Structure 1
């Protein structure tokens, strides 16, 4: 009998220390959310390299009593890398090494399309404030419209860390849905004639221009907006690796091994902020809705400014490339190409759309820096 009682006490102790005893309905809902995100990543292939680790991180975050963020270890180190703005700049280092700024340098005027597409950021910012969010929270929510995940995480950590999970999921989800969200807006806002506009071949860009651009851009933007010096500095450093011609090993590491490793840590750590207590709030649905408004507004802003440039240039600029100004490199540029090809077979807009597309990366970072300077 004593042996039985001892065994029963041991079982009770194991149960009391297990996650099952502290498991809540909220934990169950969030694990289900994580499984749905995994389905979207693996089966539907919506940004699998990002959404997959985020989804698994969400599942891990909702196991009670793991002590992931309270006790020293890998998970706490990953959280430190996010909370202290280490991972987003490293991601930008890889993005810079993978990015060709040639189309932007060949037609600098497309920088304006990248700027125009940032209107979605400020539309969502105003909308969030009207719904009762603080100005710092509204700024973090608005950046979803830039369709740039690392920048959204970077800004959220500094202005509204408690909203990081919802903002990151919204940003990456809408990035993956670019081919579904953008074409209807592009078609509604343009005429058949505008969609058929053929653009002249881009001029060749010299190596001198390619090497000077990241250096000059880093100096000017960092002096103008010091809060984003780390983000833009890493972007331009990665691009300098690419364009210098003498740092191929560094370029290869930045755009492959380093970028992949940091992506795993950044995405998993972001998912681990999606615990039930923080995520299952009415504000989460508002953030997702505002993110969609921001993204749609940014697409519309780029296309409408493209229509203006089309007229001012004498029908030499196809307004469809304006939609690529929301960033989401290179997916948004491909969408411009697809819609243009459907309107006029053989009308290749991809390289033309890459100009505003990479301008959107810079534009979103500048928008984030502006908000950090004015609102933080």
Structure 2
């Protein structure tokens, strides 16, 4: 009878474990991520794989993480090969760099000011995390969520807050994907309809020389690397991807980085990050605090960019649409698309995509620089 009971328990271990309420909660979370990605269209390339990974990782007795023979499962292999050693963030940055066009930034360098202001959330979230009882290295890792850049968050967390890697990564990617939900209410709260109707018509700009486009990523890498050497993997990968694009002799590699490489790594990164969303990692008070602090970071990012743009309008003869200040976060190109869509909702003939994407590209550079500075400061201030 005892042997029969043992066999029964082994055969139906998964079914018996389904009585644990936390498993159903994680299934629900995974389902919500899939729903937001598939039905609502909120960055499905991120949320869809994350939702699937979350469900896989929480199936009782599954072999996706640790099979019966003790060998690592495929999700564990992906984690060790891409997140634990920071490979996926670096590869993602190569793809992002190949997508970026720095010409608008070189024509109007003042866009970097909007990007800098739109990273106010890093400092706001860091201070709030410190007051909430987190150690300085943990608070800084939480604050970097305000860079609005999932790969940067992974990179910083892996170095200074390894035990918090799963919730930090999930929070950063989820909030990046939810920019279409987070930013519009904040923008409408802090701007008047008259401000949102300010037109920034498309202008035929003077072309930027190929020499300037080629030298810019090299100079940024050198300057950022000298100031904060620890940032070289991220800023170097980003600018390497851009060099592939602007060199004029590696179009095949640039296209591969933009498309095949980015899609493949995003797919693997999404399902691997989702697989870290187990009940013991997510359903804790600490994770709830991180989720709240992540929201603080994103809201203050948007507020910082908007208020700086409104301040600039006090001194500018030709007013700018202050909504573009919100694009200074690094969620590229999500934020630029969201803000340009908001302008079209107010006035179907008001196209501000060009300046919005320009500020968004500046935010991508600013996020990497901010991440590098945070990584350089943590060992000094700890």
> Quick check: 1:162–1:278 contact (8 Å CA) kept in 2?
no
Q: Report what 1:151 is aligned to.
A: 152
Is 1:71 aligned with 2:71?
Answer: yes
State the 1:26 CA deviation: 2.6
* Partner residue in 1 for 2:26: 30
The aligned residue for residue 211 of structure 1 is 214
**Can you list the C-alpha shifts for 1:87-146, whole angstroms capped at 9, x where unaligned?**
101001011111111211111100110010000111011111111112122122222222
Q: 1:242 to 1:20 in 2, by over 3 A?
A: same
Question: Following superposition of structure 1 onto structure 2, how do residues 237-316 of structure 1 map, counting pairs within 5 Å?
Answer: 237-316=240-319
Q: Which residue of 1 aligns with 2:91?
A: 90
- Name which of structure 1's ranges 45-54 and 298-307 shifts more when overlaid on structure 2: 45-54
Deviation, structure 1 residue 191: 3.4
Partner of residue 343, structure 2:
340
Deviations 1:121-178 (A, max 9, x none): 1101111111111212212222222221221222222222332332233222322332
- 1:6 Cα deviation (Å)? 10
5+ residue gaps, structure 2: none
Tell me whether 72-81 or 353-362 shows the greater mean CA deviation: 72-81
Partner of 1:117: 118
Q: Corresponding residue for 1:228?
A: 231
Deviation at 1:309, TM superposition (A): 1.9
What corresponds to 2:192 in structure 1?
191
CA distance in 1, matches of 2:321, 2:64: 54
1:255 CA drift (Å): 1.2
How far the C-alpha of 1:19 sits from its partner, in A, is: 4.1
- The SS at the match of 1:317 is coil
Question: Partners in 2 of 1:30 and 1:199 — Cα distance?
Answer: 45
Distance 1:338 1:260 in 2: 25
Whether contact under 8 Å (2:64, 2:75) holds in the other structure is: no
- Distance between the aligned counterparts of 1:40 and 1:338, measured in 2? 19
Equivalent-residue separation in structure 2 for 1:352 and 1:32 (angstroms) = 39
The answer (yes or no) to whether the contact 2:64–2:73 under 8 Å persists in 1 is no
Task: Indicate if the aligned counterparts of 1:46 and 1:173 stay in contact, CA closer than 8 A.
Answer: no
Partner of 2:360: 357
* Alpha-carbon distance, 1:262 to partner: 1.2
Using structure 2 for the length normalisation, give the TM-score.
Answer: 0.89
> 1:59/1:346 Cα in 2 relative to 1: closer, same or farther (>3 Å)?
same
Deviation at 1:42, TM superposition (A): 1.9
Aligned length: 371
Which residues of 2 match residues 41-56 of structure 1 at below 5 A? 41-56=37-52
Note if contact 1:96-1:236 (Cα within 8 Å) is conserved in structure 2: yes
Q: Distance in 1 between matches of 2:200 and 2:44?
A: 34
- Gaps of at least 5 residues in structure 1 are none
Q: Counterpart of 1:99?
A: 100
Pairing partner for 2:55 from 47, 56, 59: 59
SS of 1:79 mapped into structure 2:
helix
Distance 1:280 1:73, change over 3 A: closer
Q: Contact conserved, 1:128 with 1:138, CA < 8 A, in 2?
A: yes
Partner secondary structure for residue 108 of structure 1 = coil
Q: Note if contact 1:30-1:276 (Cα within 8 Å) is conserved in structure 2.
A: yes
Tell me, what secondary structure is at the counterpart of 2:83? helix
Q: Equivalents in 2 of 1:366, 1:251: separation in Å?
A: 23
Deviation at 1:223, TM superposition (A): 1.7
User: For residues 266 and 126 of structure 1, do their structure 2 counterparts lie closer, same or farther at Cα, with a shift above 3 Å needed?
Assistant: same
> RMSD of the TM alignment (CA)?
2.3
Alpha-carbon shift at residue 366 of structure 1 (Å): 1.7
Conservation of the 8 A alpha-carbon contact between 1:171 and 1:291: yes
Alignment CA distance shift 1:63-1:336 (3 Å): closer
Rate the CA distance shift 1:145–1:63 in 2: closer, same or farther, 3 A. same
Q: Moved runs in structure 1, 4+ residues, more than 6 A?
A: none
For 1:6 and 1:341, the matched residues in 2 are separated by: 70
Point out the more displaced range, 128-137 or 68-77. 68-77
> Per-residue deviation at 1:180?
2.8
SS in 2 for 1:312: coil
What SS does the aligned partner of 2:41 have? coil
Q: Which moved more, 1:315-324 or 1:196-205?
A: 196-205
